[in-house]
Chain A
């Protein structure tokens, strides 16, 4: 399912928050009432959903909310709205709206210019008819809200994050990619323009009669966007009102007693009950001073929450602990929810053989529904649905693209290999990053792809050959042997083996099969690997001397702690900007540990925040091949320095 819907869901209030529960009901009555209310609410939300889905369909892509949203769990998730994110969104609103608008303007003009080109334009054209269809039904709904429009217009940006992600990026124009940077600056000056545009969009009742043209279509879709936002706005406000009213009357939440906990171990509650309890606890924890029961400490609540979440999401306690430490309680819930949903399939264009425009054209001709991943990459495409298996199209076999998670673009972009360099990928299989590096190097220089697992190397070699990479050397060593085997690299990419807590959506077995001993072993290995990666790099390289460390794990032990260890063991490296303009900065302190200040230069990516796998990227620059220890200078072997001495440890 598309990333768009994931995001939207998080901004909806949870069902419980709009329930009215009278004070003195018994447990049974309480449950029954809840049930009834949930049901009525379901109907309400379903109606709302249909509208918004119809609108989503009308915004230029054909993706309506699929079946998943109709499942009860899905609906509940959809209603969830963490307070903090709502506030954030408000703050950012004007800039974001403006940005989206200005982009769309450009896109519209591009589309018109490139109009006769053919297939790629079909997507907007097809959706056009849907616009017309959905218009009538929407108009009724809109008219009801007409009066509130003016009042709501100020808050309109509430969900503007979505607008940003939904904004169609132009594939046809490389120019738009280049111009993206300037958009933000333009945005500030465009505030008035936005408002006037809003007005324009709300007053035109007779749009449906206009003939549909490219320009017109753009406007219409924009109008529909705005309308949809209003709807949501309205719904939100309504729900909030209810919520606030409910808060006063609602029975304060009671933690289960220790006997109950014991009893639950014997006969577990059903999932919906557990989920409700999770939401209750989250609500209490978010407003602890008011909603708590004096006899229970915060820890009591946390313990119960942990137990419930372990049960509900199926994690083991150790991992649950680790992950809860990373996030606030409500964000953690978002994180776990995001892990239950598969990330969209993404592909990377092989620029050695084709261009993104040509590839998109070819895939669209096969009926594949796709979009650019985001403005941060010029080679990525997201596949929404496809009538043919994406891994078996003639284009795939001819090596025109690689199926690759969006997150695995990041370390290569951070590494930024250049032509005629000697680059090492320490754990390369199955070759997504390696081939991306080779593509950036335009098949010049030398790309050494290493992997410790011989079986996985088959896929690596196959991908390298399929994508037409001719400068690659594939070898099978333990990465820790590396400066001894070969050294003096201009750039080294270390995508370390990790626990995979960032890719739980891909491999759910991580939830249960990772214990403390696994983490101990992995972090030890990662620390050894990062030192060999640093030692394999040549600081004297004219163009490079960079090391990128990345993991697909979000735990601090495997990320910041390892980077910090490398900084302390190898004073000849420093952290530098990764060159990725999104993602959250790494932790500089975490539960009593303090890391080097420069760790804020590293980047973290989360499934719930960035709609890609959880990921961590750090970029080092090696300053010298010598390490100053006291008075002595030590030269680790293999760094490309002429002087050779014993390796320091």
Chain B
């Protein structure tokens, strides 16, 4: 476990801003308790300062996880968000897409969101921006990248892809081995 270096922090924040923009501030500067980002085995964990301090007693080989895992750094130095970051992303998401009940399962099986399945969309969503996907009951299902801006989406035919799939809750079942 170690703090992120400056360039790691930068890469990480660049990725995170795609989904929640300036709201990262709320993650860094919390009113209740100081929280921090820590790197352990290439994974970035978001954990409260006090827990992190107590965790220093656990050896590097033996520490499997702490707090919430946001994602991992690939071998090429890029940052990859994991589904485990979804609660935080959903809380602060800039752009949201709500899918209808019939679109829930296709998305949870790892498919892109097609236009026909979309129930609601945030206004003025630009193209190629990180979006969090909810079902109609406001339960976050996953996240992805918008394929069209809100305006262009009206012109697309119903089977056209509206949001590219990146990660969904189904990964807890499908990719348990790869995730952790």
Question: What 1/0 flags go to A396-411 for Cβ under 8 Å of B?
Answer: 0111100000000000
Binary flags per residue of A457-474, CB closer than 8 Å to B gives 1, else 0:
111111011101011111
Asked whether any CB of chain B lies closer than 8 Å to the CB of A628, the reply is no
Chain B CB within 8 A of A392 CB: yes
Give the distance in Å from the alpha carbon of A392 to the alpha carbon of B69 in the complex.
Answer: 22
The answer to whether A461 touches B64 (Cβ under 8 A) is yes
CB <8 Å contact, B58 and A394: no
CA distance A639 to B137 in the complex (A): 47
A242 an interface residue at 8 Å Cβ cutoff?
no
Q: How far is the CA of A454 from the CA of B62 in the complex (A)?
A: 9
Shortest Cβ distance from B64 into A: residue: A474
- Tell yes or no: B7 within 8 A of A by CB: no
B177 neighbours in A (Cβ, 8 Å): 458
- Complex Cα gap A476–B65 (Å): 10
Task: Tell whether A394 pairs with B173 under 8 Å between CB atoms, given A465-B84, A476-B64.
Answer: no
User: From residue B87, how far is it (CB to closest CB) to chain A in Å?
Assistant: 5
In the bound complex, do residue B58 and residue A397 qualify as a contact, i.e. CB atoms below 8 Å apart? no
**Chain A residue contacts of B57, Cβ below 8 A:** 485-486
What residues on A are CB-neighbors of B48 within 8 Å? 470-471
- Shortest distance in angstroms between A426's beta carbon and chain B's nearest beta carbon? 14
Q: Number of A residues whose C-beta is below 8 Å from B?
A: 32
- Beta-carbon contact of A472 and B66 below 8 Å: yes
Structural contact, B64 and A397, CB atoms closer than 8 A? no
Q: How far is the CA of A486 from the CA of B59 in the complex (A)?
A: 11
Tell me, yes or no, whether A608 is within 8 Å of chain B by CB.
Answer: no
Please tell me if the beta carbons of A475 and B180 are within 8 angstroms of each other in the complex. no
Q: Is the CB of A485 within 8 A of B58?
A: yes
Chain A residues in 8 Å Cβ range of B180: 457-458, 461-462, 465
CB atoms of A398 and B169 under 8 A apart: yes
Contact of B68 among A395, A422, A462, A470 (CB under 8 A): A470
> A435-479 vs B: 1/0 string, CB under 8 Å?
000000000001000000010011111101110101111111100
- Report the minimum CB–CB distance from B172 to chain A (whole Å): 5
Known A394-B169, A398-B140, A466-B172: A472·B108 in contact at CB below 8 Å: no
Is there contact, CB below 8 Å, between A472 and B54?
no
CB distance from A257 to the nearest CB of B (A): 58
In the assembled complex, the CB of A368 is this many whole angstroms from the nearest CB of chain B, namely 15
C-alpha spacing A546/B48, complex, angstroms? 25
* B-side contacts of A458, CB under 8 Å: 176-177, 180
Residues of B within 8 A of A462 (CB): 172, 176, 179-180
Query: B108 — which chain A residues lie within 8 A by C-beta?
Result: 394, 397
Nearest-Cβ distance from residue A347 to partner chain B, whole angstroms: 15
- Point out the residues of chain B lying under 8 angstroms from A446, CB to CB: 50-51, 54
Distance, CA A472 to CA B63, complexed state (A) = 11
**Which residues on the A side are within 8 Å of B168 (C-beta)?**
397
B175 to chain A, nearest CB (A): 9
Q: Which residue of A lies closest to B68 (CB)?
A: A470
By a CB distance below 8 angstroms, the chain A residues around B84 are 465
Shortest distance in angstroms between A420's beta carbon and chain B's nearest beta carbon?
10
Interface string of B33-59 (1 = CB under 8 A from A): 000000000000011101100110111
Instruction: Please indicate the chain A residues that have their CB under 8 angstroms from the CB of B137 in the complex.
Output: 362
Residue with the greatest number of chain B CB neighbours at <10 A, chosen from A398, A458, A460, A464: A398
Q: How far apart are the CA atoms of A398 and B51 in the complex, in Å?
A: 25
Contacting residue for B69 out of A394, A465, A476, CB 8 A: A465
Q: Complex Cα distance A42/B47, Å?
A: 64
Interface residues, chain A, CB within 8 Å of chain B?
362, 391-392, 394-395, 397-400, 422, 446, 454, 457-462, 464-466, 468, 470-477, 485-486
Given contacts A394-B169, A398-B141, 8 further A-B contacts (CB under 8 A): A397-B172, A398-B139, A446-B50, A458-B180, A461-B65, A474-B65, A476-B64, A486-B58
A–B Cβ pairs within 8 angstroms, 23 of them: A394-B104, A397-B108, A397-B168, A398-B140, A398-B169, A399-B169, A422-B54, A454-B64, A461-B64, A461-B180, A462-B172, A462-B176, A465-B69, A465-B84, A470-B46, A472-B67, A473-B55, A473-B63, A473-B67, A474-B65, A475-B58, A475-B62, A485-B62
